[in-house]
Amino acid sequence: MDSKMVDVTLHIDEDTTHDKREAFRDSLLNLSGVMTADSLDEKPHFMVVGYDPDVINSIDLLTNATHNGLHAELIGL
């Protein structure tokens, strides 16, 4: 079965430390269907997540943020 990959940008409302963002990134990467999750220290409120929409949806990513004590929104381009 071929995997699809789409990217979504999350805007994280809170000011976070590098370690907090890394912990959130790791929790996203542990979700089935998430392939990538990246943020830059220069833009700490943004995280780009690559995922397979046949396995997981973007709302699940926001739910994961909430479970990590964060508030986030999807940014459409």
pLDDT value, residue 77: 59
Three-state SS for 60? helix
pLDDT by position in tens, the chain (length 77) = 678 999 999 999 999 999 999 999 999 999 999 999 999 999 999 999 999 999 999 999 999 999 999 999 999 75
| DSSP tag of 77 | -
CB 12 within 8 A of CB 71: yes
Q: Which residue has the tokens 């479970």?
A: 67
pTM exceeds 0.85 for this model: yes
pLDDT value, residue 47: 97
**Domains, in order of start, for the chain:** 6-75 (3.30.70.100)
Phi, psi of 48 (to 5 degrees): -100, 125
pLDDT value, residue 1: 61
